[in-house]
Amino acid sequence: MQWLELTARVFVSYLVLLVMTRLMGKKQLSQLTFFNYVTGITIGSMAASLATDDELQFEHGIYGIILWAALTVMMEYLTLKSIRIRFWTDGRPTVLIKQGQIVKTALQKTRYNVDELNMMLRTMNIFNMEEVDYAVLENNGQLTVLKKVQYQNFERQDSGKSFKPNKNLPTQVINGGKINKDTLDEMGLDEKWLEFEIKKKGYKLKDIFYAAIDSSGELFIMPVNRDSYT
């Protein structure tokens, strides 16, 4: 490969990669899920091959990067429109500890053991599993923890004031304006209950973009903001 050709390949592949990452958006750059992570690595590998592999035709390399990016953008659009597709591509968070108890089947499904779980908790400065009410393994592999109420606020505990335990893990029931029927069924609730609770707060169901049941069992809602933004 001639130096001039190599320089041209590197320059063009750099520009194409820059444009494609901008088109795919900030979600791809943040690598929120394993799918985003793999897609980012693949596009980077394709750009590297385009720059250095003289057996790869230049036009084919450019076409491959653009097509891969287009498929990624299309899949992201589909996941915005369909919760089921989102679960299929990104998966669901997995509850490893529920109401202070380890969910053995969840550990087996995710192929984690107790030692690894304890290690992840220690990285969050939690050295006693007794403090944990809920622990959730997110889609990106990170662990998030909801502590038991008595460990959340030591001042309140030391003052002798009473506290209410967490009823459940905060759970979304409306996402992107669409009702998550599976979640409602798991919690023993239905759409009539949801609509009634929304009306109690002075809203209509069609105006709600996001709603979740918090750890105390109360419904938190976030209506649609119709203002434009930059």
The predicted pLDDT at position 153 comes to 65
CA distance 103 to 82: 29
Return the sign of the alpha-carbon dihedral for residues 121, 123, 124, 127: positive
The predicted pLDDT at position 28 comes to 56
Question: Do 45 and 59 lie in a common domain?
Answer: yes
The predicted pLDDT at position 155 comes to 47
The predicted pLDDT at position 90 comes to 72
CA distance 223 to 204: 9
163 within a domain of the structure (yes/no): no
Pair of tokens at residue 208: 């709600």
Q: Band of the pLDDT at 68, cuts 50, 70, 90?
A: confident
Domains identified in the chain, total number: 3
The predicted pLDDT at position 229 comes to 38
CA distance 41 to 63: 17
Question: Do 8 and 84 lie in a common domain?
Answer: yes
Question: Do 52 and 122 lie in a common domain?
Answer: no
Average pLDDT, the chain: 79
Question: Do 76 and 21 lie in a common domain?
Answer: yes
- Asked whether 154 and 165 are in contact (CB, 8 A), the reply is no
Which residues span the domain enclosing 186?
Answer: 171-223
> Where does a domain end: 88, 113, 143?
88
Nearest CA to 111 out of 88, 131, 141 is that of 141
Question: Do 125 and 142 lie in a common domain?
Answer: yes
More confident call, 54 vs 74: 74
More confident call, 163 vs 37: 37
